[in-house]
Structure 1
Amino acid sequence: MKLSFLLPALGLSLVAATVSAQEPLPSDDGSSITTVVTKVQPSKASPLPVAIPADHAAVRYSGRFEKKEDAAMVCAWPASAVTLRFQGTGAVANLGIGGNRVLVVVDGKPVKVLTGNSQEVGKVVPTVRLYSLAEGLPAGEHTITLVKITEANLGNVAFSGFQLPEGAAAKESPAPERKIQVIGDSISAGYGNEAASQKEHFSAETQNAYLTYGAMAARAFGADYTCQAWSGRTMWPKFTLPEVYGRTLPRDAASVWAGDAKKPDVILVNLCTNDFSKGAPEEEAWVAAYHAFLAQLRKEAPDATIYCAQGPMINDGYPAGGQAGTKSRLYIQRIVKECNDAGDAKVHYLEFPTQNIATDGVGADYHPNLVTHRKMADKFVAAIKQDLGWEPAKQ
């Protein structure tokens, strides 16, 4: 099947050119690319007697969700999550997964990946089926989290509630005190991070938003996590992330995000790789667009520490003579300095070192793999510890 979305090749080309002159340069014209989507997972779960509906007070949501038909809570952005703490020995859930993958995390450990129907990528509310999450757990208290580990181009995920065994009960699950938000492109969404090499292309089976640098950094601090990332998106001038940022469901222009009671304490913006792939954008216009987006973020989260990042795929090797790494660094450092000079001392520059393909390997289409994401997470964690004085949460 074909999914129409912009190939996040701008970053790919930057790295590909430094590895081998023989590597074909992917296009970035917005054309369709072939995607591999996991097959329908047969629904083998049996209903359980204790119903925990989607709007139950004990159900906690991370990320952006919109209530749709039949009280289903629907999400699209990567790393969106639903958590339930309960007393019991197992759980099942009613989920409409469509073309996505949903990770099941039980008591902090990933245990399985649920898949849906790739033919339902375009459905606002994919067909809801009953999925087994865990069974035979030791009697006692447990926590289950469901994480959408694929991005919005693979459609929405609908959640319609949990079911628990006889005698089980849902428990209150307080939200974390800290919150981290990452805004970016394919890198932040986890494009190809589980792929074996650069020879693989985009596939739902190798995208894992749970194992991205942002998600890992958030877990290190025991923080809530939200991610607004979309492959191929730019800061300016076209196919921009800011143009869909204000949506709950990013493919639906009418789906307006109303904001969250808990504002992020930390925001990281990682948007520049795609912008500089064919040469540096016009400086004044790009800087102005970046400032406008930062102003929007600052209005939404007045006290947040904001990091303006340069990603690990961008460097001076491509395009030839373009000095993409140097120029993007100068543009972003200028933006940060101008914010600081204007009195906003909570805006910082953060540079992720160029990925080392020789020693660390690389993911699909030259995207960062799990090794590089781990190194990026460590860099992000170190910056937060230095600037905010946070200490990692006790595991």
Structure 2
Amino acid sequence: MMTRQLFVIVLFALIIGCKQNNNISIEPSNPLIKYVGRIDFSDANAPEIFWSASEIEIQFTGTSVSATLVDEKGLNYFNVVIDKDSVYPLKLDKGSKTYLLAEKLDGNIPHTIELIKRNEFKTGKTAFKGFYIEDGELLQTAANSGRLIEFFGNSITSGYAINDNTGGDSPDSTYTNNYATYAALTALHFDADMHATVREGTGIMVSWHEHIMPEIYNRVNPYDSTSIWDFKKATPHLVVINLMQNDSWIVKQKNYPEFIRRFGDTAPSPQEIIKAYADFVALVRAEYPNTPIICALGSMDATKEGSEWPGYIKSAVASLNDKAIYTHFFKYTNKKGHPRADDNKIMAESLITFIEDTLAWK
């Protein structure tokens, strides 16, 4: 028979043991997880991520946290943001794998983990299968400013080659990092969530690939024309459109297959270019009737001195007769290839100042 003293000792040991092994698995459908972006929840316990800047965030107590991810191609990178101030890139392997995101944490205080997609959808989709926390519990995610900014853009906004400091302009997914773009920096400045509807090489009239923005702007799965995003799920407080850089090149490439497919043998006239841009902005306005829209361009050569493309955009915006649609042009970055991280900091400063002055955001 167990003595009273022995019973107390055993009970105490069990309590301590339970406390030390308070390890929990968190299913993707848990309502305490914060999701940002166009994420496909057809399977609530394996939501699929396609678009740049898509984010999964939790707040928790614990000593370590892991996540299970299933990557289609093994080409994707996510940024892991710990407690809002420590960031490192996580390279995913093809297939399913559980990744240790953070360890040796102080288990007595709340922590946050954010998983933020760096790459465009061309590097493949990623399914999220849940978190695992050691010695802790899941908490309600802290609220931010409540603002949301949506960006429609091309390689400039996706962060193509933004971290390539080799002197080249590499398409390798290692160097693509949406988190370092002017778009992400602007959203961070205003403590805003961000949607990035972006793909490199994309135009409004013609692209270097098969899709133009008016064909994919409303999709969850960019490759599936039946996968339609419900715009009512997240109404942004601001939309920024930075497109037409690719159009400005391809309309001069009469032998390029996409030129031929879109235009035949005749380049579009200025009036057709202006109308195409206005028509796309009108599509966005139809989804967001009350949201300010900034029609931007740059900082590549579509905004160099003498370029007609800023004028096309000004004319298109004027034709819409909408006082909540603005234009803002980034100064031409006169260098080889795409804007790098330092260039994007300058672009962010320009856009932030414009937003503060025009919309009175603080």
Assess same fold via TM > 0.5: yes
Partner of 1:284: 271
Identify if the C-alpha distance between structure 1 residues 313 and 48 changes in structure 2 by more than 3 Å, giving closer, same or farther. farther
Q: Which amino acid is 1:336 matched to?
A: V
Partner of 2:130: 161
Q: Distance in 2 between matches of 1:246 and 1:188?
A: 17
Instruction: Please give the residue correspondences for 1:39-58 in structure 2 after superposition, counting only pairs within 5 Å.
Output: 49-58=23-32
SS of 2:280 mapped into structure 1: helix
String of CA shifts for 1:166-193, please: whole Å, max 9, x gaps. Answer: 3323324436411111111111000000
Aligned length: 321
Partner of 2:346: 375
Identify if the C-alpha distance between structure 1 residues 294 and 70 changes in structure 2 by more than 3 Å, giving closer, same or farther. closer
Q: Distance in 1 between matches of 2:111 and 2:153?
A: 33
Identify if the C-alpha distance between structure 1 residues 137 and 85 changes in structure 2 by more than 3 Å, giving closer, same or farther. same
Q: 2:243 aligns with which of 271, 292, 297?
A: 271
Does structure 1 residue 246 correspond to structure 2 residue 221?
A: no
Does structure 1 residue 388 correspond to structure 2 residue 359?
A: yes
Partner of 1:332: 313
Partner of 2:330: 352
Instruction: Please give the residue correspondences for 1:56-67 in structure 2 after superposition, counting only pairs within 5 Å.
Output: 56-67=30-41
Identify if the C-alpha distance between structure 1 residues 198 and 334 changes in structure 2 by more than 3 Å, giving closer, same or farther. farther
Q: Which amino acid is 2:58 matched to?
A: L
Distance apart, 1:388 and its partner CA: 1.2
SS of 1:276 mapped into structure 2: helix
Contact 1:152 1:251 in 2 (8 A): no
SS of 1:204 mapped into structure 2: coil
Identify if the C-alpha distance between structure 1 residues 378 and 327 changes in structure 2 by more than 3 Å, giving closer, same or farther. same
Contact 2:298 2:332 in 1 (8 A): yes
Distance apart, 1:49 and its partner CA: 2.8
Q: Which amino acid is 2:87 matched to?
A: V
Does structure 1 residue 116 correspond to structure 2 residue 116?
A: no
SS of 1:390 mapped into structure 2: coil
Q: 1:195 aligns with which of 164, 185, 204?
A: 164
TM-score by length of 1: 0.77
SS of 2:115 mapped into structure 1: strand
Partner of 2:204: 235
Q: Distance in 2 between matches of 1:153 and 1:190?
A: 13
Contact 1:63 1:77 in 2 (8 A): yes
Partner of 2:10: none
Q: Distance in 2 between matches of 1:70 and 1:303?
A: 31
TM-score by length of 2: 0.83
Contact 1:103 1:110 in 2 (8 A): no
Distance apart, 1:260 and its partner CA: 4.1
Q: Distance in 1 between matches of 2:242 and 2:281?
A: 12
SS of 1:174 mapped into structure 2: coil
Identify if the C-alpha distance between structure 1 residues 316 and 230 changes in structure 2 by more than 3 Å, giving closer, same or farther. closer
Partner of 1:86: 60
Q: Distance in 2 between matches of 1:228 and 1:262?
A: 13
Partner of 2:11: none
Distance apart, 1:128 and its partner CA: 2.5
Q: Distance in 1 between matches of 2:170 and 2:138?
A: 44
Does structure 1 residue 300 correspond to structure 2 residue 287?
A: yes
Q: Distance in 1 between matches of 2:161 and 2:22?
A: 36
Contact 2:169 2:338 in 1 (8 A): no
Contact 2:182 2:347 in 1 (8 A): yes
Distance apart, 1:145 and its partner CA: 0.4
Q: Distance in 1 between matches of 2:358 and 2:301?
A: 25
Q: Distance in 1 between matches of 2:77 and 2:332?
A: 29
Distance apart, 1:56 and its partner CA: 0.8
Partner of 1:134: 102
Structure 2's unaligned 5+ residue stretches are 1-20, 253-266
Does structure 1 residue 146 correspond to structure 2 residue 133?
A: no
Identify if the C-alpha distance between structure 1 residues 111 and 237 changes in structure 2 by more than 3 Å, giving closer, same or farther. closer
String of CA shifts for 1:59-112, please: whole Å, max 9, x gaps. Answer: 111111002457211111111111111122221111123320011000112432
String of CA shifts for 1:322-377, please: whole Å, max 9, x gaps. Answer: x8x521011001112222xx2x10111100001143xxxx6xxx100001110111
Q: Distance in 1 between matches of 2:280 and 2:191?
A: 27
Structure 1's unaligned 5+ residue stretches are 1-46, 121-126, 318-322
Contact 1:182 1:228 in 2 (8 A): yes
Q: Which amino acid is 2:23 matched to?
A: P
Contact 1:103 1:147 in 2 (8 A): yes
Contact 1:237 1:286 in 2 (8 A): no
Q: Which amino acid is 1:267 matched to?
A: V
String of CA shifts for 1:238-286, please: whole Å, max 9, x gaps. Answer: 5311211111121222321122433111111111110011448422222
Distance apart, 1:299 and its partner CA: 1.7
Distance apart, 1:298 and its partner CA: 1.1
Contact 2:57 2:113 in 1 (8 A): yes
